[in-house]
Each structure stands twice: as C-alpha cells, then as structure tokens.
Amino acid sequence: MTAVVSATPSAGPRSSPSALFTRTGLLVRLACRRERLVALIGVIVFVLINCSTAASITSMYPTAEQRAGARVGLGGNAAFLFLLGPLDDTDSAAALTVWRAGLFMIAALAVCVVLLVVRQTRKEEELGRTELVRSGATGPLAPLAAAAIVATVFSVLIALGMSVMLFPLGAGIVDVVAVFAQYASTGMAAAGVALVAAQIAKTSHIANLTASSVVILGYLLRGAADASGGWGWLRWISPMGWAESIQPFADNAVWWALPSFAVFVGGGILAGVLARARDIDAGLIAPRPGPAASSRLSSPEAVVVRLTLPLLGSWVGALVVYGLVVGFMQPSVDELATGNSQFGAVVRQSGVDADLSTLFGITMMGFFAVAAGAWAVNVATRMRGEENRSRTELVLATPTARGRYLLDHAALIGVGVVVILLLAAAALTVGNGVAGGQWSSAGGDAFRSASAQIPAALVMSSIMVALYAIRTALVPIGWLLVIAALFLGPLSGMFDLPQWARDLSPYTHTPAVPVEPMAWTPAIVMLCLTAVFTAVGWAAFRGRDIG
C-alpha cells in the first residue's frame, strides 16, 4: 500500500520536539489498517491456543489432588523445567494453564511483535515507502513512533485476551493483572529491541533475525537457569527471565515488568537517535554484496535454489532444536501421567494400543508434518513477494517457461517437506538417545513415522502452490488452512470433533506408524491429490497475468 501524505506545512519550527513526530496519528491509522488482518488472526490464534490449553487442563486435572500430582509428574521433568519453568502453584486450573502455556506463548508473542515492528519500519524503508512518507509534512521520527504505538496496542490486546479468559478458571484479579503484565511488558520489550534492530540492520531479514535471536537467546538463558542449579542469575538478564520472575498465582511481583518497560523506552530513544543520525536505507549491518557475475545461476532451477535454500535452513534449524527437546522428553513421558488417569486416554485418542512414549513420538511427528505444511506457505509468501516486486517478471522475460518456473518451486517445496520431516526424525532420535532411550528402536520408529507423514504434508504444500498460482492474494489463506488442518488433525481429539470434520484434514488419514502397518491406499490417494493440485496450479499460472 502506498502512503499519500498531505504536503501542508507543519506548525512550528522543524527542529522543535513536536515537529519530530508530526503526523504520527495519521501513520498510526495507516499501520493499523495494514496490520488489521494479521493482528486479528494473531489475537484469535493466541486466545484459541490458550483456550484449548485450558480445556485440556480442565479435562485432565479436574480435581485438586490430580493438579497436585501434576507437580510431581510435570513440574519435576527437566525438559518441562527448561521449556516452561518451575511449577510452583497448582491450586487452580488457571494456575496450571498459565504455567503450561505461559513462557512459551510469551516468547511467541515477542517474536510476533518483532516481525510487526520490522515490517512497519525497516521493511517499509526497504520498499521505498518511508522515503515517500518522509517527503511530505511528516516528522522524521513519526514512522518509528507509529510502529511503537501499534506494537504496544498489539501486545496489550494479546495480554488482555490471555489474562481475562482466566477468570472462569478460578483466577483472582491480582493473578490476572500479573499475567497481563507478563505478556504486555515482554511484548513491549521486544518492540524496543526490534526498533533498534531496524535501525542498525540494512534489510528487514537481518533486522528480524537479529531481534528474534535476542528474544530466543533470552528464552534459552532462562531455561538454562531453571533446568540447572547455580545459574539462577541468567534469569535476571533478559525480559523472558523478568516475565518469569513476576510469578502469577505465587508472588505476583508485577514490579518485575518495569525493566521490560525500561527496555521499550530505552530502545525507542536509541532508535530515534540512530534514525536521526543516518541516511534513508542505510544501516550498520548489511548483507555481504554478491559477485558481479556468477556461473552458478545459469538456470531457473539454480535461481530458485539460491533464493529458497536460506529459508529452508532457518526452518530446519528451528525444528531440529525443537525435535531435540521433544526427543529428550520422550523417555520420561510416562512420568507426565503421574497422578492423572486421563493423560493416557488423551494420548491414546487414536485407539492404538501402544506405550505412551511411542504414541507421544507419533503425535509429535504429526506436529512436525503440520510445520512442513507451514514451510510451504512461507515459500508461497516469498514467491508472492518476488512477483509483487516485479522480479518474477524479469525471470520470465528470459527463455524460461512459466510452467517450468512454477514446477521448480513446487519441486523444491516438496524436497523441503521431506528434508524437514527426516531431519526432525533424526533430532528426535538424538534427543531420545541422549536422555537414555534406545537409539536403534527410537530411530527406527521416528523415521518410519516421519515417512508416513510425507504424503499428507505434500498435499498441503501442493494446495499452497495452487493458491499462489491462481492468484497471489490467496496466499495468506494458506496460514488459515494450516491452522485448520492442525485443529482438525493432530488436535482433533481435544475437541471431540465428529469424524466428518476430522476427515477434512489430510493428517487424519495418516496411519499411526510404527504402531500400525502402513496403509498404502490413503497414501496413494494423497499423492494423487498432490499431483492434481500441482497440475491445477500449473495450468492457472500459465494463464494468468503476472504482477
């Protein structure tokens, strides 16, 4: 969207403090308009995940005795200590829900805020829109202020949704305020970090990577402080640690939110100083310039691989780390059912007779398959961006057929799906083995389960290719389809959905390998559907306008 700002002269001298923020309100309205769909989906997804977590907790731990037993099974597990922190309070379902979803969802909110801020600052500058806005009667710091305000509103909305829904679960006002402070303060701290990253990085990709790495590093340091003795001081050096120190339902030390607010204010001030001192489109951290010529980019396939391989690397890296953590938890999954007779029933919702550890691995592999489908949406989004920037048109101006261009991307997406699932299986095997499991049996089960998930993930990826090929504006629908496939497939047992609804998700038709034998009929049908959706996309892309 191109911003058009009136050229009416601003009141007062240009150097006055008020002139630095001229037309901030207008830019806030513009940013809200551009973010309305993404923000709405974000709020809905966060609240739905929290509601599903609460429903699961209420179902599995309906009594105080069972919640107290969870402190032994869940709270005593080293992997859960690393991921979620200590379980100090189990007096209510609200307390257990906050612990189960809390720190992980707070970190997810921080990453979402980083993406929002960078999208509204460095991304706009990268596309040349900031220069157009600044050419009008707009203060030099107005774009930064607008991004900070929108990020704050987004964080507050998420914090309200995640805290207010705790009242029916037995939470008090002080507890709800503490949970609100956790989410809001950490989101604002992430906004402060992202504002600075957007000034020092020359591209939005580097800015996102820099600020997100700061958030993830803080999460990992907090996890190390909780999982190992003598390292508690690591909890005090990051917003994630400060959020944990608030301790809702225990100390309710809301004052720990003040350091995060200080990061937000300090980051905003530093970003403003840097913005005033640098030129438009300048940055301290810039990508290394490539060679003037290259013999390695002599074909469309080479170009597609060069553009997409770094994206695949980031997905693989994140999922492998998560797979290691999941694999580390797998040998002790039986301990998670301590004091809770319903846990096994939930895990065994497929009706398959097997031990909890094996079923846990199958369930988690289903989540990795959903992530592989999300990778396909990410590539389709990248393809849409390339087309919107007229780069696709330049490639197709060479002797490159449209069908070949689309099929190259489809093939690379398919390869990425296979790579993601197989490396996730390898990570599960390594984590399981390090935690004391049997390497050979764990590896065989993980790889067979991953192989069985490939057809369903390929169906999802082919749908994303077809959406892009039909019309680029349809690509964002892919995220909704992935979420729907997740809730109708791997998470369907939590909501007691009818079978016809579950059958809408391709992941429902994947057999529970290695517990069940491989069912080849649904696999062949899903592979045929993959070919059909790819063919539809190929025909549509050849017939539509580019750009």
Helical H segments across 330-401, by residue range: 341-347, 356-388, 391-396
**Domain assignment present for 232:** yes
pLDDT at 70 over 80: no
**Domain assignment present for 154:** yes
- Go through the chain and tell me how many residues it has: 547
Q: What is the dihedral of CA 225, 226, 229, 235, to 10 degrees?
A: 30
CB 126 within 8 A of CB 203: yes
Domain identity same for 501 and 394: yes
pLDDT score at 433: 83
Specify the higher pLDDT residue, 226 or 471.
471
Domain identity same for 484 and 502: yes
| Cis amide linkage into residue 62, ω under 30° from 0 | no
CA separation for the pair 82, 535 (Å, rounded): 46
**Domain assignment present for 13:** no
pLDDT score at 348: 53
What's the mean pLDDT when you consider all of the chain?
Answer: 83
Domain identity same for 212 and 303: no
**Domain assignment present for 299:** yes
**Domain assignment present for 86:** no
pTM of the model as a whole:
0.72
Domain boundary among 288, 310, 325: 288
User: pLDDT, tens digit, for every residue of 228-254?
Assistant: 766 778 888 889 999 999 989 888 899
Domain boundary among 266, 288, 310: 288
Judged by average pLDDT, the poorest of 92-106, 289-303, 317-331, 356-370 is 289-303
CA separation for the pair 71, 133 (Å, rounded): 55
Number of domains observed in the structure of the chain: 2
Helical H segments across 254-355, by residue range: 257-277, 300-329, 341-347
pLDDT at 5 over 50: no
Span 328-340, average pLDDT: 62
Domain identity same for 274 and 387: no
User: pLDDT, tens digit, for every residue of 387-441?
Assistant: 888 888 888 888 888 889 999 999 999 999 999 999 999 998 988 887 777 777 7
What confidence tier does 50 reach under pLDDT thresholds 50, 70, 90? confident
CA separation for the pair 410, 313 (Å, rounded): 17
**Domain assignment present for 10:** no
Judged by average pLDDT, the poorest of 349-353, 376-380, 453-457 is 349-353
Domain identity same for 264 and 302: no
CA distances (Å), 537 to each of 471, 476, 541, in order? 10, 16, 6
Domain of residue 199 covers 20-34+104-288
pLDDT at 498 over 70: yes
Rounded to 5 degrees, what are φ and ψ at 101? -105, -20
**Domain assignment present for 247:** yes
pLDDT score at 229: 66
Domain boundary among 264, 288, 312: 288
pLDDT above 90 as % of the chain: 35
Domain identity same for 306 and 281: no
Domain identity same for 336 and 351: yes
pLDDT score at 71: 67
Domain identity same for 209 and 322: no
| Cis amide linkage into residue 289, ω under 30° from 0 | no
5: tokens are 């700002």
User: pLDDT, tens digit, for every residue of 275-304?
Assistant: 888 888 777 666 666 666 666 777 878 888
Domain identity same for 371 and 447: yes
Count Cα neighbours of 126 within 13 Å in the Cβ-side half-sphere: 19
**Best CA proximity match to 157, nearest among 8, 32, 328, 295:** 32
User: pLDDT, tens digit, for every residue of 81-114?
Assistant: 777 788 777 778 888 888 888 788 899 999 999 9
Domain identity same for 273 and 325: no
Burial of 292 (0-12, 13-18, 19+ CB in 10 A): exposed
Domain identity same for 145 and 266: yes
Q: Is the torsion defined by CA of 398, 403, 405, 408 positive or negative?
A: negative
SS (H, E, C) 39-66: HHHHHHHHHHHHHHHHHHHHHHCCCHHH
Domain identity same for 511 and 484: yes
